[in-house]
Amino acid sequence: MFVLYVFAFSLPFYRFLSTYALGIWILVFILQLFHFKKPNLKPPLSFIIIMWLFFLLHFIGITYSTNTKEAWTDIILKIPFLIMPFLFLFSIDDIKKNLHRILLSFVAGNFVASLICIVAACIRSLSFTNGTWVFDAELMNHNYSFWEMLANGGNNFMYEPLSIFIHTGYFSLYLVFSVLIIIDFLKKGVIGKTRNTKILWGCLIVFFSIMIYLIFSRAGQIAYFTMLFSYMLYLIFHGGKKILKTAILFVITFLGIIIMSHNERMQNSYRDIKNLFSGEITNNNDRLVIWSVSLDIIKNNFISGVGTGDTKDVLFENYRQNHMEEAVKEKLNVHNQYLETSIQFGIIGFSLLFSLFIFMLWKAIKKQHIILLLFMVINGIFFFFETALNRQAGIFFFVFFLSLFMMSILAPKKEI
């Protein structure tokens, strides 16, 4: 079990740490094979088959890819879909008993990573000038006021300068999930047995919430308020004090609207969406134009897509045809996992990814497992803004926790 704690803890840090942790996990797994005991629970075969099919689809996609080097790189990146469910198979009994510890290890990792990011930002903001220590966090010399900096960023304590370990979107996703874990565990009494400990956990929720805002990820902020809104709805329909919970729900909604409406990146997104519906899309609206180009590629390769390794080549070629030189120069990807998978494998790939989400949502609803349900919701939102399964940070997070939930909570008992 210790290796799973280490792996969960390592996720918010530099990717080589989680890679080494996975390597140790595999080594421990091999050693455990010599002392293998048959589990008392039947593994969820439907889940394993879907995960393996998703990996197999990438493998088959090599056969009609012209860029085989990129294809093999993608295959290696997707290996967790193949091996992680298998690694969990031999530890189902222990995982069921230690699920909360694994999840809290992930929360602890995010707390330590956040503290290090804050300390690093403080150090970068300090300088020794003319015999005096000067603290200046601003990076762009805009002479922003405090509130202008919170709305627009441009300092050491916001966005990319703050998230020093992994991409801002993934870090914000991790923090949103950490808040969900804490809230759910407090409700169930897993943590916060006394008043003082409840206050401490509440302070951690506030700290993570501030970090989510400072990281400035649009997907993270949308996922955060969607998660809070959904969890409060769940509480309203599962327990007493409905008036108080409804009031809290309205407060969350109000704060979400206020905070996101004053966020410059959110305002830019709103303008882009407005331009989309008014037919005023220009090449300056990169993401919307990229999505439009992506849809054209999908229409031309509707059944099986362009193959595992050819997505970037086809995308960049279409950028050039549409005179999107900046997109080519910056090598912008699709920034949408649903479109990315559809470009790669057409309707077949999209259907398989969609089936995985539907299957997990159905399982979560059937078992009334709110944390898994909202895990899928926040990932579904994040997939809309990022090609999450093209990065190790996204794949490790998604596959690890899906496998963890399926092998522990949702594995049905064997019939006697």
Question: Which residues touch 137 (CB under 8 Å, ≥6 apart)?
Answer: 121, 125, 149, 155, 156, 157
Average pLDDT for the chain: 86
Copy the structure tokens of residue 300: 């031309």
Please check whether residue 88 is in contact with residue 39, taking contact to mean a CB–CB distance below 8 angstroms: no
More confident residue, 61 or 279: 61
pLDDT in tens, 113-124: 999 999 999 999
Report the DSSP beta bridge partners of residue 127.
134
Q: What is the mean pLDDT of residues 367-383?
A: 93
pLDDT value of residue 33: 75
pLDDT in tens, 205-257: 999 999 999 998 888 989 999 999 888 888 887 766 666 667 776 777 767 76
In order, the DSSP letters of 325-366 are HHHHHHT---S-HHHHHHHHHHHHHHHHHHHHHHHHHHHHHH
pLDDT in tens, 22-45: 999 899 888 877 766 666 667 778
Portion of the chain with pLDDT greater than 90, in percent: 53
pLDDT value of residue 254: 67
Question: Which 3-state string (H, E, C) describes 14-29?
Answer: CHHHHHHHHHHHHHHH
- The CA distance from 67 to 309, in Å, is 5
In order, the DSSP letters of 186-206 are HHHTSS--SHHHHHHHHHHHH
Nearest to 8 by CA among 78, 84, 75: 84
Q: For residue 129, what is the enclosing H or E element?
A: strand 126-129
pLDDT value of residue 414: 46
Q: What is the mean pLDDT of residues 135-145?
A: 76
Q: What is the mean pLDDT of residues 304-308?
A: 92
Half-sphere exposure (Cβ direction) of 20: Cα atoms closer than 13 Å = 8
Q: What is the mean pLDDT of residues 334-356?
A: 94
Please check whether residue 58 is in contact with residue 51, taking contact to mean a CB–CB distance below 8 angstroms: no
- The CA distance from 80 to 403, in Å, is 10
Q: How far is CA 130 from CA 121, 126, 127, 134, 392, in A?
A: 22, 13, 10, 9, 45
pLDDT confidence bin for 388, thresholds 50/70/90? very high
For the chain, the domains span 2-271+335-408
pLDDT in tens, 84-99: 988 887 777 677 788 8
Residue 141 has pLDDT above 80, yes or no: no
Q: How many CB atoms lie within 10 A of CB 5?
A: 18
The residue with tokens 């999450």 is 388
Residue 282 has pLDDT above 90, yes or no: no
pLDDT value of residue 349: 95
Copy the structure tokens of residue 29: 């797994």
Q: pTM value?
A: 0.91
Distance of alpha carbon 306 from its chain centroid, rounded? 26
pLDDT value of residue 409: 72
Q: How far is CA 125 from CA 137, 143, 156, 394, in A?
A: 5, 15, 7, 30
